[in-house]
Structures are given as structure tokens and as C-alpha cells.
Amino acid sequence: MKILLLDKNHPLITEQLSGKGFLLEEDFTSTYDEVLKKIATYDGIIIRSRIPIDKNFIEHAKNLKFIARVGAGMENIDVEFAKSSGIKLISSPEGNRDSVAEHVLGMLLILMNRLFIAFTEVKNGIWKREENRGDELLGKTFGIIGYGNMGKAVAKRLSGFGVKVIFYDIIPDLSDEFGTQVSLETLQKEADILSLHLPITPETHYIIDEDFISKMAKDFYFVNTARGKNVKTSDLVKAIRSGKIKGAALDVLEYEKSSFENIESENEDLEYLLQSEKAILTPHIGGWTIQSKEKLAQVIVDKFLSDFSQS
């Protein structure tokens, strides 16, 4: 079986699969059109987000038996067409769930306790105590939308913080020892903090907009480590300005390129977030730790080997 690697990943993928007799080739620079010219000769591809695997790509990939996405989201793949073409899809959300969960807690603690602001002030010789009073997690209700690998990992991390964890998910009967499933209306009524853990789909695009925010009964903190386009940024900024959103911790932005490697545009809303003391932004690194790089790759290898074996 001949496999094309289109993105750089942990070397264990190449080492372990080559050791099992698979032929792996790397191409981290060719454009979409350049890959199209040769993709028919490969049985499988391993990707992150650099190149979109759309219907046109799949139609050119005559021998493709699998697509492995090192990560959680599959939005850069035409999933339905791939499935209808008999192509096996593999992803590895288990690999970076712990990394995402820790990032959520890290950003939230920095935001609620004004740690970065206070640190910056002290570095500049400013010593303010009253102005930098923090806000405790203890006793608050933490709302999660999306209770898959990431949402569950966040709930688990919160178990020692003395918070009540509730979540909404379209799949029923997911309550466990770390979180209680509720209706969306109940979550909007009770949550002091809201954290998103959703894929991007037509249904979840701009799920957080002015209408959603207006239905939140309390002023709340907001965390997004899912996808930037889950949130309508202009409405988010309005809510921060008004005080409805007490603070926002954003690891993803609406303005990211599809490859997540940079921001496509700059505008007044982004500039506000960059300058506001009520917002913390990181460059889509929630699932990007030393450990997760290895775990993401190992999950892909393990799943692949469970489905395919060299004859």
C-alpha cells in the first residue's frame, strides 16, 4: 500500500508504518493542483489541514482507500462524498483532548484572575491590588456545548474546582460523573461560563451570535477552542462591550485561514479583541502540545493498523 503524507507530523507515523511494510512518501510543499496530478497512484493519504480534500480531489484519487486526518475536525474533507466512494476516514480526536482541556483551564484562570494584566503592570512598575481582584471558579456553573472527546476532557479537569458542570449535546444520554446533560434552554439559563467544543457544520456555523447571547440569563465568561466560525465575532464584540460577556478566551478566530496557519483579514472587531483587557487570544494552539503531537500520530497509526494490514 502506497501512502502520501501531505503535512508534517510526528515521525513515528513514518517509522511505524514503514516498519510494517507500507510505502510512505512525503510531500509538504506541492500545491493542490500539483498533488492532483499524481494522487491517482496512492492508496491512502495522511493530512492535517494544508490541502482541502474536496469532491474534485477525491474523483482524481482513483485508488484511494483511506484518508487519515491527524486531528479532530474533518471540515477540510468532503466526508459524505468520501464515504460514498468507499473511502475509510480516520481521525484522532483522542490525541489532543487533554491538551485542549488544559488550555481551556489555563486561559480561563488567566482571564478571570487578571494574571496577564497584573503581570504586565508589575513589569512596568505598576502595583495595583484592588483593580486586579480575581473572580473564582468555585461555586459557578460551567456550561459546555458539545460533549465529545474535548468536552468530556474539560469536564474531567474541572472536577477539582468546585464547579457545577452542565452540558448540551445533540446526542442523548451522555451524562457521567463529571457533567450533567441539560437542554440548551437550561444551559442558557444557568451557565456562568460557556465553553464550545463543536465541529464546524452548517448547523454550528455562527451558533454563537447576538440571538444566542441574548438568551443567556447571566452575564458570562466565554471560551472557544473549537472553530472560529462557530462564533460571529461582531456579535461577540458587541456583547463584550456591553458587559454581557464578562471576558472571552479565544484560541480560534473567525478570520483564520482554512489551514489554521494565519489570519486572512484584519478589521475593527479583531483590533478590539487584541486591545481589550477582557479578551485573551492564542493562535490555535489548544491541542498543540509536545505530548499531543505524539499522541495524535499514535492514534492514527493504531486506528490505521486495526483496519489495514499488508498482505
Instruction: Say if residue 86 is exposed, middle or buried (CB neighbours under 10 Å; 0-12, 13-18, 19+).
Output: exposed
Q: Are 140 and 190 in contact (CB under 8 A)?
A: no
4's grid cell: 502520501
Instruction: Say if residue 199 is exposed, middle or buried (CB neighbours under 10 Å; 0-12, 13-18, 19+).
Output: middle
Q: pLDDT at position 78, please?
A: 96
Q: Which residues contact 96 (CB under 8 A, 6 or more apart)?
A: 71, 72, 286, 287, 288, 289, 292, 295, 296
Residue of 48, 103, 197, 284 marked active site: 284
Return the CATH number of 96-281, one of 3.40.50.720, 3.20.20.70, 2.60.40.420, 3.40.50.150. Answer: 3.40.50.720
Mean pLDDT for the stretch of residues 307-311: 71
Q: pLDDT at position 177, please?
A: 98
With a cut of 60, say whether residue 228 has pLDDT above it: yes
CA 22 – CA 192 distance, rounded (Å): 51
Helices (H), ranges, 143-242: 149-157, 184-190, 210-214, 233-242
Q: pLDDT at position 310, please?
A: 56
Residue of 50, 103, 114, 256 marked active site: 256
Nearest 10 degrees: Cα torsion 221, 227, 232, 236: 20
Query: What percent of the chain has a predicted confidence (pLDDT) above 70?
Result: 99
303: number of Cβ within 10 Å? 17
β-pairing verdict for 245-250 and 180-181: unpaired
Mean pLDDT for the stretch of residues 282-297: 96
Mean pLDDT for the stretch of residues 40-68: 96
Helices and strands, counts by H and E, the chain: 12, 12
Q: What is the largest CA-CA distance in the chain?
A: 70
Known catalytic membership, residue 284: yes
Q: Are 167 and 174 in contact (CB under 8 A)?
A: yes
Nearest residue to 110 (alpha-carbon basis) of 252, 279, 226, 240: 279
Q: Are 141 and 190 in contact (CB under 8 A)?
A: yes
152's grid cell: 468530556
- For 71-96, the pLDDT digits (tens) are 988 999 999 999 999 999 999 999 99
- For 160-180, the pLDDT digits (tens) are 999 999 999 999 999 999 999
Q: List every span in the chain annotated with CATH 3.40.50.720.
A: 2-91, 96-281
149's grid cell: 472527546
Known catalytic membership, residue 50: no
β-pairing verdict for 66-69 and 88-91: parallel
CA 46 – CA 91 distance, rounded (Å): 10
Percent of the chain as helix, strand, coil, to the nearest 5: 40, 20, 45
Q: pLDDT at position 311, please?
A: 47
Known catalytic membership, residue 227: yes
CA 105 – CA 7 distance, rounded (Å): 29
49's grid cell: 489541514
With a cut of 50, say whether residue 59 has pLDDT above it: yes
pLDDT band for 257, please (50, 70, 90 cuts).
confident
Nearest residue to 85 (alpha-carbon basis) of 63, 112, 116: 63
Residue of 227, 254, 266, 271 marked active site: 227
What architecture (CATH level 2) is domain 2-91? 3-Layer(aba) Sandwich (3.40)
Question: What is the pTM assigned to this prediction?
Answer: 0.94
CA 19 – CA 12 distance, rounded (Å): 10
pLDDT band for 266, please (50, 70, 90 cuts).
confident
